[in-house]
Structure 1
Amino acid sequence: MQASAKEIPDLHERPLSDAKEFRGFRFFKHHAGHNLTKWQGQDINATHIIHIRRNPLDVFASYLNFISANVTNTASIPFESVESIVGTDLFDLYFSSFTITGHIAPRFSVQTGDYFSHNQYWMNYADKPIARIRYEDLLHNPVTTLGFLKDWLKLGDEDLEAMLERAGKSTKKDGKFYWRQEEKNYFNFLRPEQIDTFLKYRGDECLALGYDPEYLRTPPAR
């Protein structure tokens, strides 16, 4: 049997019982932090953990898209799309909120914590086998980045490449939930002075998560 996205439930939306077994493992997705034993009344017995983190400025842009009317329309102050508010006071307010609190959706932050404390928790976690992945490495070098799965699941390179091909087909860029899938997409929206202000206050925390402030200041090659 081959694992697919439909067999990996998001516990925010579906029960753990929807997870199908694959080579002795059942996979599930979870956005919350700090609790691997129980979720919404479900007992969880996690044995291995995959933690995926993304640079904070791309997380800001991506989550702003997620709460916009383009995807879920759940923003505290509604707006049509990220593109529609760039350069406005509303965009600046949301970015200020992210800089100060590490989040822009207070209701969801109750479950996840803020960006920095959430990711730092998993960077320090040592109680169970854990693979820590940067989104950017997964984007550019997926086979090497996911090499740990060959040991966990007894996979070969061909197995891993076939799984990545299937995953790519089910997560194609669509301008909606699968929005842009770019490294440093935030340069399309943030002004240089906003990036500098963010790094003035959050630079050390970015570095601790593997994102050098100079990397975050440097525009992508176009």
Structure 2
Amino acid sequence: LAATFSPMVTIPPELRSAVVKITVNSTPCSVTCGLGLKVEELCEITPAGERRNCSLQRSLCLTTWICGLQHVSVPAGRPLHLSCFVENNLDFGNQTYGYTWRWAPGLITTNDLLFEPLQNPLPALSLAPATEANAGTYRCDVQVRETFRLIKRIYFGLKVIPGNLVDLNFKKSLSWKQKLFGNLVVWSARNGSQEGKEHFWENEGSLKALLGMGSGLLGGVVVSLVLCC
């Protein structure tokens, strides 16, 4: 085999004393996805490897443009506001951002083949009010208009809870025994003070519960006496 050798590279004398400025340190990106900011430390490096004239500067950063799926639940009839806004930073030019919304009706998915376009060029999507027909996954894409570069994509998986499906009123869901027990706990926590006793007996639910228990017990005794005699 014939060996080949590259010719020697001669560095001009003026480059041997050249000083370059490079990034020697950097903070993490301010966001985990989408367009963010970071602070970099730039220093001049001498041919001897020394740092000098260091300075800090901010710069744009993009760790990843995919922001994943966020799950959102809202009761039917309530207003809903979804946003994928990206702030314009005038320190880095006059670039502007375009927003494109799509949705997959009735599905919680990130399969892009199942999405259909929505006519909404704004960074926010409002549903006022949200209905069961609005359930599904909403996708927002953010692009730099001048270069068409995609800088952010986020999915919102929306579940709309029917108003008659569940009653979130805790007190209404309690049985009379649970209400009685709760009132007894409150009364006991007040160390049997006169104020606590008055509060307990003034509670209409507690009074009705005790009267019901007393009536039932008295009725049972009467029936037992009749049967015995």
Same structural fold, with TM-score higher than 0.5 when normalized by the shorter chain: no
Larger radius of gyration: 2
The TM-score with structure 1 as length reference comes to 0.17
The TM-score with structure 2 as length reference comes to 0.17
